[in-house]
Amino acid sequence: MHDAIAAVTGGDGVLTGAAAAAYCKDWRGRYQGDALAVVFPSDTRQVSAVVKLCAANNIAVVPQGGNTSLCGGSVPLKDAGQQIVINLSRMNRIRNVDAVNYTMTVEAGCKLESLYAAPEQADRLFPLGLTAVAPHCEIGGNLSTNAGGINVLRYGTARNLVLGLEVVLPDGRIWDGLRSLRKDNTGYDLKQLFIGAEGTLGIITAAVLKLYPLPKSVATACIAVRDPVVGVALLAHLRATCGDMINAFELISRSCLDLVFRHIADTREPFARQHEWIIITQLANVLPVPLEAALRDALDSFGAGVLEFGITADDTKAERWWKLRKNIAEAQKAEGVSIKHDISVPVSLVAEFLTRAGTALRHTFPDIRIVAFGHMGDGNVHYNISMPDTAQNKDFIQQQEHNVNHIVYEIVQELEGSIAAEHGVGQMKREEIARYRSEVEMELMRSIKQVLDPHGLMNPGKVI
């Protein structure tokens, strides 16, 4: 099999043994599996040929991009039989930028961070804005998990940013759906099956992405608020007064800031005194008009609960504030593994979730540390639990992860939320989703999987 694959990709396109091990472990170091080989195709036809070989030999395929999955979706399972990893990092070409149609066509291995410069040269914006993993993650993985990020409030998730896909199916056939149409009702919208499917139905190899006008003016505010209740009300107020100019609205707790200051160089308190909660929000406009005054007027007219704020149109100063948000995951990683939750609830219920979950968890585990932050603008909270003493943390997670998850997920369910907002399901939540999705939904998902991947060879053990 090694020789057959090498004949497709070239000898330098296949790793085995110790050389392959690094690709079988996830970004957090929590999941590690086994693979016969890690394969690096350089184009879609090579992906197709490798998948056909695997299908003919009953070998499972694990698609992989930047391997930044936080749920174990991009690594092979341990002791699960014959598997190979297909890493798409060599497929990193921007095939086309169409400034008039406001689209660009890119290959799946393009790093997300690399997809900003090309449209900017054409005075266009690609708005998918992730934080901690942007330098490492790749667009194929972003689409496979339906990534969100800080700009969802205005532009939507990855699902909203795709017009067409190219996909290698589990039997190796290539579906060319690289259409750049805004309107196309010729049957089912097949691309939506693969977005968010985490490679369980096929391998995304290229995509047509939407572009937007490049903002000409930006104003950023760092705001200290009394509590998340104030944050929810402030968001509604800003939307009413500033409309669609709001790009982002990010909530950060004191525990996040403490970790960032401890582990990330060149960071400091945004205000002269400490606050338990801060919000970073941003307005943007395609017209070159000052936005600071509009943002200041909106904040001044809000009323009680805003403790203090700063506003800037200076990119350097704004980036100092954004650095506090963008480095939370990296600071957490330096502290070791935590029990991670990537949940969403209706925006109006974010504060209720934080209050109820915090109360319930601290009642059962009085000494825990709760690191809560995220995209309040779309109701997506990253809610992470650990022990402050890293020496106690490993045992706590091994013994109590199930109980912690149960407490958090039951509250999410009661608030009609989701236990998987933007990081995917992967291995981590595979068993959990069956408890929180209806039997009809699970049956439909299993039926789709059976039709497209009847032999269960595409990223087995993930999602369903």
Q: Residue holding tokens 């582990």?
A: 263
In a shared domain, residues 309 and 230: yes
**Considering the domain boundaries, does residue 454 fall inside one?**
no
Which residue range is the domain that position 385 belongs to?
Answer: 336-424
- Yes or no: say if 115 and 146 are a contact pair by the CB < 8 Å rule: no
CA angle, 198 then 203 then 209, to 5°: 85
User: Which pLDDT belongs to residue 394?
Assistant: 86
Distance CA(372)–CA(381), nearest Å, equals 7
What pLDDT, on the 0 to 100 scale, is given for residue 132?
61
Give me the pLDDT at residue 133, please: 60
The strand pair at 83-87 and 60-64 is best described as: parallel
289: CATH: 3.30.70.2190
Residue 106, strand partner residues: 94, 207
Residue ending a domain, choose from 54, 87, 120: 87
CATH, residue 371: 3.30.70.2740
Asked if residue 207 and residue 118 are part of one domain, the reply reads yes
Residue 438 lies in a domain: no
Looking at the domain assignment, is residue 463 inside a domain? Answer: no
Claim to verify: residue 354 and residue 417 sit in the same structural domain = yes
Residues 198 and 267 placed together within one structural domain of the fold: no
Q: Are residues 209 and 221 in the same domain?
A: no
End-to-end CA distance of the chain: 28
Indicate whether 389 belongs to any domain: yes
- Same domain for 124 and 156, yes or no, is yes
- Angstrom distance (rounded) from CA 17 to CA 22: 10
Q: In this predicted structure, what is the pLDDT of residue 79?
A: 79
17 shares its domain with 101? no
Kindly state whether residue 26 falls inside one of the protein's structural domains. yes
To the nearest 10°, the Cα dihedral for 189, 195, 201, 204?
100
Same domain, 221 and 293: yes
CATH of the domain at 177: 3.30.465.10
Query: 3-class DSSP state for residue 278?
Result: strand
Tokens of 127: 């708005």
Which of 213, 234, 264 is at the close of a domain?
A: 213
Residue by residue, pLDDT tens for the chain (464 residues) are 778 898 889 888 999 988 998 899 887 778 889 999 999 999 999 999 999 999 999 999 999 998 888 788 999 998 777 999 999 999 999 999 999 999 999 999 999 999 999 999 999 999 998 876 666 899 999 999 999 989 999 999 999 999 999 999 999 999 999 999 999 999 999 999 999 999 999 999 999 999 999 999 999 999 999 999 999 999 999 999 999 999 999 999 999 999 999 999 999 999 999 999 999 999 999 999 999 999 999 999 998 999 999 999 999 999 999 999 999 988 998 888 899 999 999 999 999 999 999 999 999 999 999 999 999 999 999 999 999 988 888 899 999 999 999 999 999 999 999 999 988 899 989 989 999 999 999 999 999 999 999 999 999 999 98
418 and 346 inside one domain: yes
Q: From 318, 349, 382, give the residue that closes a domain.
A: 318
pTM value is 0.93
12 class by beta-carbon count within 10 Å (0-12 exposed, 13-18 middle, 19+ buried)? exposed
Residue 432 forms part of a structural domain: no
pLDDT of the residue at 408: 97
What is the residue-wise DSSP string for 283-318?
EEESS----HHHHHHHHHTT-TTEEEEEEE--HHHH
Considering the domain architecture, whether residues 340 and 237 belong to the same structural domain is answered as no
Kindly state whether residues 162 and 194 are assigned to the same domain. Answer: yes
Neighbours of 94 (CB within 10 A): 16
Tell whether 148 is covered by a domain: yes
> Are 361 and 289 within one domain?
no
* Cβ 361 vs Cβ 351: under 8 Å: no
